């Protein structure tokens, strides 16, 4: 049965990635990773899954949702093991998004010292708090999600 064969059990993947086994099952359910199964139905992962998980963890730290990450990961080739170039292509998109996020933080930082610090801040006048994005999301759920935009509900009139 060619044991060893570099297929990893879930606990091994959990140990190596630092992501809980329950989270790995959850990621699989959400289509972020995939696994093969033994005859008895247990998950076995190829070593390459570790890089995929690494990407998920990175992307989360940057502030994106699992859904967004899943969308990005779906761009990786289905049939074959992704190459360095495949990853590089993904990385480029995400580098741009990180830069955006950093730019926003810089705006916030400026606003904090110049705007709140000095006392001019009033939110209905200060542009810094209101970076011209689309109007507030509809539907339930948190609106000020870290990666989200400030809802601009017609604060001017």
Kindly list the residues in this chain that would bind a second copy in the complex (CB under 8 A).
14-20, 23, 50-51, 53-55, 57-58, 60-63, 84, 87-88, 90-91, 94-95, 98-99, 101-102, 104-106, 108-109, 111-113, 116-119, 121-124, 126, 129-130, 134-135, 143-147, 150-155, 157
Give me the residue label for tokens 């070593």: 47
In the complex, the smallest distance separating the C-beta of residue 122 from a second copy, rounded to whole angstroms, is 5
Read off the DSSP letter of residue 115.
I
Nearer to DNA, 117 or 136 (CB): 136
User: What single-letter DSSP state applies at residue 63?
Assistant: T
Measured from the CB of residue 135, what is the shortest distance to DNA in angstroms? 10
Our finding on whether 22 is near DNA (CB under 7 A) is yes
CB-based contacts of 100, cutoff 8 Å, min separation 6: none
Six-digit token pair at 65?
A: 């949702």
Strand partners, 96: none
Strand partners of residue 36: 44
């Amino acid at each position: 049965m060619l044991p060893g064969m570099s297929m990893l059990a879930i606990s091994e993947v959990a140990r190596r990635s630092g992501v809980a086994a329950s989270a790995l099952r959850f990621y699989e359910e959400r289509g972020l990773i995939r696994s093969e199964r033994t005859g008895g139905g247990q998950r076995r992962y190829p070593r390459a899954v570790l890089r995929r998980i690494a990407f998920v963890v990175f992307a989360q730290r940057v502030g994106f949702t699992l859904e967004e990450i899943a969308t990005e990961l779906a761009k990786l080739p289905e049939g074959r093991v992704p190459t360095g170039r495949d990853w590089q292509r993904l990385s480029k998109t995400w580098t741009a998004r990180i830069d955006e996020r950093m730019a926003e933080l810089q705006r916030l930082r400026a606003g904090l010292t110049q705007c709140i610090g000095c006392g001019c801040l009033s939110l209905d006048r200060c542009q810094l708090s209101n970076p011209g994005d689309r109007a507030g999301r509809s539907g339930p759920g948190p609106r000020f999600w870290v990666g989200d935009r400030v809802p601009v509900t017609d604060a001017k009139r």
